[in-house]
Amino acid sequence: MRSTPGTETRRTPTRRVRSATAVAAALGLVATAAACGGGAAGGGASTVVLGIAADPGSLSPTMALASTALSMNTFAYDTLVHFAADGSLVPGVAEKWSLTPTSARFTIRSGVTCEDGSALTATDVAAEYNHIADPRNRSPMLGISVPVTAAAEADEASRTVTVTTKKPAPFLAHMARMLPLVCEESLAAPDSLAKATGASGPYRLTEAVPGDHYTYARRDGYSWGPGGATGADMPRTVVFKVVTNESTAANLLMAGQINAIQINGADQQRLNAARVKSRSIEALFGQFMFNEKAGLATADVAVRRALISALDLRELRNVSTGGEGEPPTAIGEITPTPCTGDPVTGNIPRHDPGRAAEDLKAAGWVRSDGAWKKDGKPLTVKLAYAVNQGPQVASAIELAVQKWDAFGVKASARPVGGAGIAGALVAGDWDVAWAPIGVTLPDQLVQFYDGPPPPAGNNFGAIANPDYRRLAAQASARPGTSGCGLWKAAEAALVERVDIVPIVSKENRLYGKGVTFQVNGSGIIPSTLRRSGS
């Protein structure tokens, strides 16, 4: 199929975004849940303030991977398809689609526009697929929203985009739900969208004050949301306010200075007691990922197994969540996901310090002067974690460090800013990381647990698990849910070899006052956000 250029006249986008130097500081993950709060009241002419726990960093839709940036980008960029409450796909920018094991054809809805007023065309969509699929562009969305071997062609006459892959892509249409669509001009300079937008969705960014707030204005004429949703009743302005302290965030929510925010820690209790309404999604909240780069002690499975056996994961689970967490039964897929099953239970080493000591001895380590040593060098562990998960996680990290120290391991905590956790993993100065990953599809995890490490890929821990690679390849060759059994076996192989250790799952709870909304794995669904009287 030959690509044909669009017939629309392109204009250079006008960026009306004020920088931080020009503005004084102002206001301080897919199952659809029921709406939060009461009925809508005048949403179309209102301002809503949404709290975020960390600055998003870059908002570039083809480069951003931090969860805060991904959530914010759902307000500015639409996708080809959306998930319904039962996990089925519903139309978005694509009004229909067809699938084979190695291809998908999407028909682009007419009337969709980008922020500069030009039409979003099949050519634009194909260009974005090809941009992300080109490894030279190093987009972290490769393997998440676009299959690694994808190539796309557009036909403007039929308004279709055909995406083909060299290898089977079992969830190609599902992956399109994670592709934030931009017009082709924005692909030439993706960094230009780090603190601006080239919006295809209901909102455009008008003001960016990093570390403080981001203001989005509703786009007039928006009418291509999920299920045909329009922007008519959505708030005219949405402000994302950075509030790094959860207690402060809860206070601002109670005082009506912000309208919604996710609270992970102990402040949930007083919000619940005050009957502040909320909606939640169950997700992996805590997970240890090991750095298996050659030369590190944690490259040895015996060391990894010993480190976990030395800990009581139930203690970490309770401390990190204030007793609100549950043993995880998945390694990162957030519902609704096409594959269910439990690759975790029974596959994690039990708490047994005696067995941990035996594992280290068998691997050539000797305990001397209260410390484990090998070739005269002590066993050291640097434990990285994101501070934006709240103070309870920090306490759990301190507990793990104390337990390892008592066991004879020289351990230290490495706190990093929430938006910087991916950067810390890429930098590689860590042995263990508290790094839960949330995705929708099992094949989206492959890039994190197989393939090249940074800078060529996102296999942060340099994991090379032959069983996971073999089983994931077999699963990928089967369309859709027919490969689910193999996907779960592949994930179990990661847990059994202690490449990753899921510790705790928890409800990601978003509290709201004066607004109604629905949620999915990315956070608030923009098309459902409304002002309310309570």
Kind and range of the H or E element at 100? Answer: strand 94-100
Quick check: 490 pLDDT over 80? yes
- pLDDT surpasses 60 at 29: no
Burial (Cβ within 10 Å: 0-12, 13-18, ≥19) of residue 513? buried
Whether residue 27 has pLDDT greater than 70: no
Rounded Cα distance between 277 and 228, Å, is 27
Per-residue pLDDT tens over the stretch 392-407: 999 999 999 999 999 9
Q: Give the mean model confidence (pLDDT) for residues 32-39.
A: 33
Average pLDDT for 479-504: 95
C-beta separation of 380 from 409 below 8 A: yes
* Residues 410-433, mean pLDDT to the nearest whole number: 89
Q: Is it the case that residue 36 has pLDDT exceeding 50?
A: no
pLDDT at 37: 36
Strand partners, 81: 91
Sign of the Cα torsion 348, 451, 286, 529 reads negative
- Sign of the dihedral defined by the CA atoms of residues 40, 41, 46, 47, in that order: negative
The single-letter DSSP state of residue 204 is E
Cα–Cα nearest to 32, from 513, 532, 527: 527
Which of 44-53, 117-126, 179-188, 443-452 reaches the highest mean pLDDT? 117-126
Structure tokens at 400: 């793990």
The Cα angle at residue 94 between residues 93 and 98, in degrees rounded to 5: 165
Q: Are 114 and 200 in contact (CB under 8 A)?
A: yes
Query: 143 falls in which pLDDT band (50, 70, 90)?
Result: confident
Sorted by sequence, the CB contacts under 8 Å of residue 187 that are 6+ apart come out as: 62, 127, 128, 131
Task: Please state, for a pLDDT cut of 70, what percent of the chain lies above it.
Answer: 90
Mean pLDDT confidence for 222-230: 89
End-to-end CA distance of the chain: 54
pLDDT value, residue 8: 35
Give me the mean pLDDT over the 254-273 stretch.
92
- Lowest mean pLDDT of 123-137, 263-277, 493-507, name the range: 263-277
Q: Is 285 in contact with 320 (CB distance < 8 Å)?
A: yes
Identify the weakest region by mean pLDDT among 43-52, 67-76, 174-183: 43-52
Task: Determine the pLDDT at residue 303.
Answer: 98
> CA 98, CA 523: separation in Å to the nearest integer?
28
Please state the φ and ψ torsions of residue 516, each to the nearest 5 degrees. -120, 150
Task: Identify the pLDDT of residue 372.
Answer: 98
Q: What SS3 class is residue 509?
A: strand
Residue 356: left if φ>0, alpha if ψ -120 to 50, beta else—which one? alpha
Q: Report strand pairing: 47-52 vs 237-242.
A: parallel
Tokens 């997970």 belong to residue: 287
pLDDT at 191: 87
- List Cα–Cα distances, 311 to 250, 354, 378, 381, in angstroms: 32, 11, 19, 14
Q: How confident is the model at residue 44 (pLDDT cuts 50, 70, 90)?
A: low
206 pLDDT higher than 50: yes
Encoding tokens for residue 12? 């250079």
DSSP state of 439: B
Q: Cα separation of 122 and 266, whole Å? A: 48
- Mean pLDDT on 430-456: 92
SS3 of 405, please?
Answer: helix
Average pLDDT over residues 129-139: 94
Containing H/E element for 446?
helix 446-449
DSSP character at residue 43 = G
What percentage of the chain exceeds 90 in pLDDT? 71
- What is the band of 134 on the pLDDT scale with cuts at 50, 70, 90? very high
Q: With 60 as the cut, is the pLDDT of residue 22 above it?
A: no
**Is the pLDDT assigned to residue 259 strictly greater than 70?**
yes
Letter for the amino acid at 459? N
pLDDT at 471: 97
Task: Extract the tokens encoding 76.
Answer: 């500015």
The residue count for the chain: 534
Question: Has residue 368 got a pLDDT over 80?
Answer: yes
Are the beta carbons of 340 and 492 closer than 8 angstroms?
A: no
For the chain, which domains are there?
Answer: 32-276+513-531 (3.40.190.10), 282-508 (3.10.105.10)
Indicate if the pLDDT at residue 381 is higher than 80.
yes
Per-residue pLDDT for 142 more than 50?
yes
pLDDT tens across 69-111, in order?
999 999 999 999 998 776 678 899 999 999 888 999 999 999 9
Question: Pick from 429, 430, 423, 478: which is nearest to 455 by CA?
Answer: 423
